Amino acid sequence: MQTYPAVVAFHRTLNHDVHHIGFKPLTEVDIKPGQYLEVCLDNGWCVPYSVGNDPTQSQLLELYVQHLPEGDANIRVIEATQEGAEVTLAANGKIFYTPEWDKVPLVLLVAGCGISQARSFIEARLASGSAQPVYLCWGGGDERELFPLEQLTQWSKDKRFMADLTLDRPSDEWTFAKGTVVDTALKGLTWMTPKERSRAKVVVTGSPNMVDATRARLAEAGFAADNLLADQDYYQVRTL
Ligand SMILES: Cc1cc2nc3c(=O)[nH]c(=O)nc-3n(C[C@H](O)[C@H](O)[C@H](O)COP(=O)(O)OP(=O)(O)OC[C@H]3O[C@@H](n4cnc5c(N)ncnc54)[C@H](O)[C@@H]3O)c2cc1C
């Protein structure tokens, strides 16, 4: 496995449980938008996180890491990635942005920290010459699961970009959509013709249950099963 040394350039918390971490690689890194990095710990575990920016446009590699108190691996990652620490990274993932994707609509359906992979795809897409639309639906259980993401305002100025934010159990103050990601997305995607649905690349990022349920509903709605992409189809645990 090819590994890369890197230094933690920043490590900040965005809300009660999401850590935004930036790495400065010390050597050239071959990672494409939408792929994932593995943070390789001293005990040999390589813990996967989607790259949260377009690595081809930045000197830094960013991650959004959710702190799950019941998990051992994510806690070790958060401890090992304090600002200034040296870490070992690996890159992997079979789903990434290629120039072929410029020719078709792009649909990103994500829960919680899944926005990380979506941000990477959106940055790659908007920087490309593609005139095709990109649609994002970002959801969670309640307000605590959607953290501040400054890029949303900037993306919204681009005519190719459309987005819905949705919550299953919002508070009374919530002014966006209510419901699951797939229910909201199917309402938000009524503009897509059957031909566009059959050609669109769709990336679904969330828990295995969310991914399976979302893909089943999209297939019923005319999206091509081969184009319903999720890392869980390929991910395998690796150790150093
Ligand atoms: C492709 C992919 C992308 C992901 N992207 C993100 C993201 O952007 N943000 C986010 O917050 N989470 C992401 N996750 C989930 C994240 O990797 C953790 O699974 C999650 O934080 C839960 O951590 P945990 O502590 O419960 O560990 P677990 O889910 O139990 O393990 C996490 C990983 O740690 C390693 N590991 C754990 N135990 C062992 C062991 N005994 N031996 C060897 N290796 C071990 C394995 O690589 C395992 O996959 C992603 C997962 C995958 C598969």
Give Cα 207 distance to the centre of its chain.
12
* Phi, psi for 7 (deg, rounded to 5): -115, 140
Tokens representing 201 are: 């690349």
Residue whose CA is closest, atom 48 of ligand 1? 47
| Average pLDDT for runs of 10 along the chain of length 240 | 96 96 97 98 97 97 96 97 98 98 98 98 97 98 95 97 98 97 97 97 97 98 98 96
Mutational test site, ligand 1, from 18, 45, 146, 229, max ligand atoms within 8 Å of CB: 45
The per-residue pLDDT for 215 is 98
The per-residue pLDDT for 184 is 98
Q: Tens digit of pLDDT for each residue in 22-35?
A: 999 999 999 999 99
Nearest ligand 1 atom, CA 77:
25
Q: Percent of the chain scored above 70 by pLDDT?
A: 100
Q: How far is the CA of 93 from the centre of ligand 1 (A)?
A: 14
Domains in the chain: ranges and CATH: 3-92 (2.40.30.10), 99-233 (3.40.50.80)
Residue with tokens 């939408």: 34
